[in-house]
Structure 1
């Protein structure tokens, strides 16, 4: 169990673009600098070519991919209780359970889980089993017997194992005991010389001398000659008889098959039913390589802590990482319209009508007086250039342009040259399928009862956009159906001419586009001069057309 602060995940939307990824990286860095706590930049989808180029150019690692942020076993309080070896005695296992206040112990070999032993297993053995041969059947070590009886082995090898015979109490006279004692038996007796000698001559495997009685040298010599071990114990016969079965190894009573285990990455809503349907109170937890970590109990569910998130570059539920509604959202940093994310309590929310989320983050670096390093400046600049189409988009403000110019100086790059390289990398899609291209920079929106998807590709080459159009157009309807969309629009944006060609799919898509832009579309695409922004131009017009 640990009290260290849990990490906070800083994450953008699904199908992340450059602004989303760079915002996660730079804002996580800002939060670490301000607080000293653990903020981890993550991504909720795969990187597009443009973003890969940017991260590679500035030598920045790709953020970790997080598919789902529902609460997992790793978010519960895991009881870090060491595993026990399978040769541990029942008595020692019971003591460990009592000291740790648990009713289950995990049996391990190295890091591998080999079994589970519970207090019930021990009690059932103690109460139900009356077979006097149980110690030999369990292959009990003499070390366990000596430890359990608080005794001392004065003749024989302590590392040996009891493999045959039964446990006998020498309560009768030697004549009668000769008919009872067999070769290999463990004989519990007192300080009577004749009884000790009788047991040895009958080739007993071991004699246990009670009440701390001394053992004559002649008896010890006879025992060596007959291969009989001698254990001395301070306990009386009754206590020894009561204790001795507790020396058997846990391997004899533990459960080995069909063990119910959970992994660190299991989601707790998926394991609750399994927990509820079994009578166990504790369950082993394994890592992804099936190595034993610790245990969880039913009551640990009550203390399971939701994952902590900061959302950047989005505030729509259907754009958020899977499971966001079951996580604890701490902050939202965004530059889009306000939509559907709900939070359990108040959060820090910063939304500004700027061209890029990274412009907001740049302003926050300045406000907090945190140094912007060369790499961070490069990421912030790339995101601003990407989202504002090198300051050509109507979403671009003077604040964005000023930020970009200052960041280009810190990063040591010519922003025009860098933007050309970046946009070229983003539109170089020769190795991608039509479906991959459509989803590269793609967002879903809900308008009234309709689900709309809008994708976009930006390029500085008109020829390149023609090739992309030819590749994706035949697949538009299939992608719309597969994604459950009522309408799909895809913007082929020419940065140089500051215009877009929009291809579409869906029964009402053509009519909606006609109404949105007052154009008469009779083919399979619409050319929209001056329209380059999904957020500020295409989406608002489509929303208005649908709602009117």
Structure 2
């Protein structure tokens, strides 16, 4: 059975009421189809006062906020390599790596918080470069590690104790000579010779390691106990013991704890890609926000990463889409605007109709599929149509929009005219918003050849409110144009009742473009356009036509 995929249904970056409501409704349609995927309504930006009012009016939550559709670490295959304790032996760590086909092990504390990592190169380096006979003590090696690594038994001493003083010495000389090089607390590797064992204890050894499983007499054990000397016996020969002894050291002696490269599940893969490729370590720990270990990822995991799936509503322009859309898997597009600049890797279901609102198309889909429209969603779709068509005053409004709104209003139990006034009144209450919040409440960027500009729009039923908005937004027009690196910036202050727009302009060629498009030049950066209320059907087409004529030499 294939894994259930999560698919976001998403509008444009600065969502209006249509963008939000259509996303919620189309997610409902897709989930009703029950194709095995889970569809989630999402938003790519902050919602406006108007949209907030609509959602509250019909008891619906805001869609999930997704400002970047790029893949994250959580979308990668995170390998659940278990974390290890810093006290385990190097040999055990090496064996675990071999069993799990891993080259890096995470080291965690008792609360699963990441303390460090150890790599196969760290272990190999420690083995090849460890020529210091005091290293076992410096590493504070637990006797339990020595017992495990050397397959040994402890005849005298505490298995939980730590060997932390002295050298490691192999007793191959005559007992008389041994007294000259065995020092206090040394670990002495010896055979079954009673004299050698006795000489080591009398010289102050801290531990004797008896090889080849030789018997250790009771008298030696008693003497060792009286002199606080541990006694271990192993079936291994002297060479093997000498070979393995450095493998007893705990990983904490060689683990990496500084400048660790770690990632969190929410990190975007495009942001971590360079870091992974420019670091010699092959595997990287993933930790949560509390520092707790989650798993491991490697560079090869980037190759098989699952793209996030998305359905776009109310737009098909790359400049208006959520960030990183080029790295997402687009499954469908439902829109009512001109065909834009988005490209897909594979064929997709693309439904684009010349109506005044995406919600009108969504309503048609409900009817075509025989799905009942829930009253709350009917209220959302009706609100979207009233908003996009300016209560049927916009030239974008069609008979299909009007018929859909009337049918939906009946399901939702509202009156189009009175509810529309309520909605626009709530939406134009902008006193507590900053110029930036107002400016981006309904803002879109457009690209035509070498010309790139932005257009924002605010609808109001009050001329005096538009006067105040023009005063507040004028300084921000220049600031926004500069910050975005655009050649021109425009803002439509649309009066719904008068069916007109004050167009604010900024940019070196802005006045010329407006004059070419409408036959009159702005005065003091503003022009009044009677009968112009639609950005999509009136302003943008006029600009495109003017830009095309200029590019074609006036043809």
Measure how far apart 1:522 and its partner are: 5.2
SS of corresponding position for 1:488: strand
Q: 1:306 to 1:127 in 2, by over 3 A?
A: same
Q: Which residue of 1 aligns with 2:70?
A: 70
Contact kept in structure 2, 1:168 and 1:181, CA below 8 Å: yes
Measure how far apart 1:105 and its partner are: 1.6
> TM (normalized to structure 2)?
0.90
SS of corresponding position for 1:215: coil
Q: 1:64 to 1:211 in 2, by over 3 A?
A: same
Q: Which residue of 2 aligns with 1:466?
A: 467
Q: 1:354 to 1:288 in 2, by over 3 A?
A: farther
Q: Deviations over 1:358-397 (max 9, x none)?
A: 2222222333344433333332222222112223322222
Q: 1:474 to 1:166 in 2, by over 3 A?
A: closer
Q: Which residue of 2 aligns with 1:106?
A: 106
Q: 1:195 to 1:523 in 2, by over 3 A?
A: closer
- 2:376 aligned with 1:384, yes or no? no
Measure how far apart 1:240 and its partner are: 1.8
Q: 1:198 to 1:414 in 2, by over 3 A?
A: farther
Q: Deviations over 1:213-258 (max 9, x none)?
A: 3433443333322222222322222222221211100111122222
Q: 1:402 to 1:128 in 2, by over 3 A?
A: same
Q: 1:481 to 1:171 in 2, by over 3 A?
A: closer
Measure how far apart 1:523 and its partner are: 6.2
Measure how far apart 1:290 and its partner are: 4.0
Q: What is the number of residues matched between the two proteins?
A: 546
Q: Which residue of 2 aligns with 1:244?
A: 245
SS of corresponding position for 1:355: coil
Q: 1:209 to 1:216 in 2, by over 3 A?
A: same
SS of corresponding position for 1:179: helix
Q: Which residue of 1 aligns with 2:193?
A: 192
Measure how far apart 1:511 and its partner are: 4.3
Q: Which residue of 1 aligns with 2:552?
A: none
Q: Which residue of 2 aligns with 1:421?
A: 422
Q: 1:412 to 1:237 in 2, by over 3 A?
A: farther
Q: Distance in 2 between matches of 1:274 and 1:448?
A: 35
Q: Deviations over 1:119-170 (max 9, x none)?
A: 2221222222122211101000111111111222232221111110122223
Q: Distance in 1 between matches of 2:238 and 2:480?
A: 82
Q: Distance in 1 between matches of 2:366 and 2:201?
A: 86
Q: Which residue of 2 aligns with 1:153?
A: 154
Contact kept in structure 1, 2:512 and 2:521, CA below 8 Å: no
Deviates more, 1:163-172 or 1:472-481: 472-481
Q: Deviations over 1:433-479 (max 9, x none)?
A: 33432222111212343223222111222332222223223543443
Q: Distance in 1 between matches of 2:479 and 2:123?
A: 62
Q: 1:205 to 1:371 in 2, by over 3 A?
A: farther
Q: 1:277 to 1:512 in 2, by over 3 A?
A: closer
Q: 1:509 to 1:169 in 2, by over 3 A?
A: closer
Q: Distance in 2 between matches of 1:381 and 1:193?
A: 98
RMSD, aligned α-carbons: 2.6
Q: How does 1:37-436 map to 2 (within 5 A)?
A: 37-109=37-109, 110-436=111-437
Measure how far apart 1:67 and its partner are: 3.0
Q: Distance in 1 between matches of 2:258 and 2:535?
A: 57
Q: Distance in 1 between matches of 2:166 and 2:511?
A: 90
Ranges in structure 1 where 5+ consecutive residues have no aligned partner: none
Q: Distance in 1 between matches of 2:4 and 2:377?
A: 25
Contact kept in structure 2, 1:448 and 1:547, CA below 8 Å: no
Measure how far apart 1:191 and its partner are: 3.3
Measure how far apart 1:507 and its partner are: 4.1
SS of corresponding position for 2:154: strand
Deviates more, 1:234-243 or 1:497-506: 497-506
Q: 1:104 to 1:19 in 2, by over 3 A?
A: same
Deviates more, 1:355-364 or 1:423-432: 355-364
Ranges in structure 2 where 5+ consecutive residues have no aligned partner: 550-555
Q: Which residue of 1 aligns with 2:553?
A: none
- 2:446 aligned with 1:445, yes or no? yes
Q: Deviations over 1:316-361 (max 9, x none)?
A: 1211122212322222111101011111111111111122112222
Q: Which residue of 2 aligns with 1:483?
A: 484
Q: 1:205 to 1:455 in 2, by over 3 A?
A: same
SS of corresponding position for 1:262: coil
SS of corresponding position for 1:178: helix
> TM (normalized to structure 1)?
0.91
Measure how far apart 1:210 and its partner are: 2.7
Measure how far apart 1:190 and its partner are: 3.0
Q: 1:147 to 1:337 in 2, by over 3 A?
A: same
Contact kept in structure 1, 2:511 and 2:521, CA below 8 Å: no
Q: 1:33 to 1:234 in 2, by over 3 A?
A: farther
Q: Deviations over 1:74-129 (max 9, x none)?
A: 33333221222211100010011111112222222234332221222212222221
Q: Distance in 2 between matches of 1:538 and 1:328?
A: 32
Measure how far apart 1:207 and its partner are: 2.2
Q: 1:84 to 1:370 in 2, by over 3 A?
A: farther
Contact kept in structure 1, 2:336 and 2:355, CA below 8 Å: yes
SS of corresponding position for 2:259: coil
Q: 1:59 to 1:217 in 2, by over 3 A?
A: farther
Q: 1:260 to 1:477 in 2, by over 3 A?
A: closer
Deviates more, 1:99-108 or 1:169-178: 169-178
SS of corresponding position for 1:172: coil
SS of corresponding position for 2:305: coil
Deviates more, 1:349-358 or 1:73-82: 73-82
Contact kept in structure 1, 2:4 and 2:36, CA below 8 Å: no
Q: Which residue of 2 aligns with 1:22?
A: 21
